[in-house]
Amino acid sequence: MVSDELTLNIEITIMLRNKVVADKLLIEALRLAEERGSLLAACRALGISYSRIWERVARAERILGMKLVETRRGGRGGGGIKLTPIAKKLIETYGRGLEVLRPCIEIMGRAPSIEKPIPELSIIGSHDPLLEKLIGIVRSCGVKDIEVHWVGSLGGLASLILGEADIAGIHLLDPSTNTYNAEYLKRFMLISKAILVKGYLREMGFALRPKLELNKMDEIIEMMRKGLLRIANRNPGSGTRVLLENILRRYGIDFSKVKGFETEYKTHFETISAVATGNADLCLAPYYLAKLYNLNFIHITWEHYDFVIMRSRLKKRAVQLFIETLKSEKEMINSLPGYKALNNTGEK
């Protein structure tokens, strides 16, 4: 009988002001990261995706207002991480709770995870459909083991610093200079450690759900101001979320007044799908995807999608092949709606 198969499963979570800060998976990842000097190595050992743990780390840091990991010298590729005091406190607190509840916890057996080897190429950063095509070309040239994680532009830069990524794809607008990407290398103190490889232009704007008859930016802004539109938003740290925040600030709109602002979709495919199915009224998205899903599109800007590479990784064969692919695929880039190659695409 089914009733005879019912079991209890007790899980420990660490809370702060009724918000979950850490669970078993995050604690295990932090322990392994401290042991191996890398979050990515911890994820491989646990057999889970890097983006899954990165989201947990980022969420915990937002709730605590404190960093869980910081860089140290001597890691792989000159980076590496160590746990902050608050991260160690989380592990200690979880351990105490485990000891208290151990008599009540049913120990669940699981197959041992097998740690994956270091990939030939690791690309971590902002999601982009064209980048997915470029990665496919690099794979077809013989670089089969490519690890890709969509954690947003800021997450990509942080992953470079931690020694987790070879390449970070970013599109970050600095409103004070109205320029893309270069200023963020200064903010992350990467000027002497990394180079900016020019990528391409990508058209961004608002994609609208079917039957939503809006034709002007001013109409969208006023309806958002009044709370009449629900947006599908990207995850914190993504360049698209940064762009939306800059737009709302420019028009004096309180983030909390925008319906759906709190949503956190990891990719453009997820936000555009939410709009196409009517679960949201609009989203910021590349024109390429709006056209692919046959959605009305209100143009906002052509943004620069570039690539940041640590100098210590430039001699890797896979990194060199990626750069050469960028240079040689200008015709393909220009063939996609909403994308434009630059004269210096692929140049450092």
140/249 same-domain check:
yes
194 & 58 share domain: no
Q: Whose CA is closest to 30, among 119, 103, 93?
A: 93
Do 161 and 216 have their domain in common?
yes
Number of domains in the chain: 2
Distance CA 255, CA 265 (A): 17
> Using an 8 Å Cβ cutoff, are 168 and 308 in contact?
yes
Are 94 and 225 within one domain?
A: no
Q: What is residue 232's predicted lDDT score, i.e. its pLDDT?
A: 97
Question: Where among 75, 104, 133 does a domain terminate?
Answer: 104
pLDDT, residue 315, reads 94
One domain for residues 83 and 163: no
Which residues lie below 8 Å from residue 217, measured CB to CB, with a gap of 6+? 206, 298, 300
Residue 111, pLDDT score: 36
In a shared domain, residues 132 and 86 = no
Does a structural domain hold residue 246? yes
CATH at residue 304:
3.40.190.290
Answer whether residue 263 is part of any domain: yes
Residue 110 lies in a domain: no
1-20 exposure pattern, b = at least 16 Cβ within 10 A, e = fewer = eeeeeeeeeeebebeeeeee
pTM comes to: 0.74
Q: Domain range holding 146?
A: 119-348
**Does residue 25 fall inside a structural domain?**
yes
On whether residue 113 sits in a domain, the answer given is no
Tell me which residues of the chain have a pLDDT lower than 70: 1-10, 72-79, 99-116
Same domain, 139 and 89: no
- Structural domain contains residue 97: yes
Of the candidates 104, 134, 161, which is a domain's last residue? 104
Q: Is 314 found in the same domain as 254? A: yes
Residue ending a domain, choose from 76, 104, 132: 104
Can you give the CATH number for the domain in which 73 is found? 1.10.10.10
Instruction: Give 235-258 pLDDT, tens digit per residue.
Output: 888 999 999 999 999 999 999 999
* pLDDT score, position 108: 37
Residue 109 is assigned to a structural domain of this protein:
no
Sign of the torsion formed by the C-alpha atoms of 129, 50, 124 and 188:
positive
Question: What is the per-residue pLDDT for 128?
Answer: 96
Q: Are residues 346 and 255 in the same domain?
A: yes
pLDDT attached to residue 105: 47
Q: What is the pLDDT of residue 165?
A: 92
Look at residue 111 and tell me if it is in a domain: no
286 and 149 share a domain?
Answer: yes
pLDDT at 47: 86
Statement to judge: residues 37 and 184 lie in one domain: no
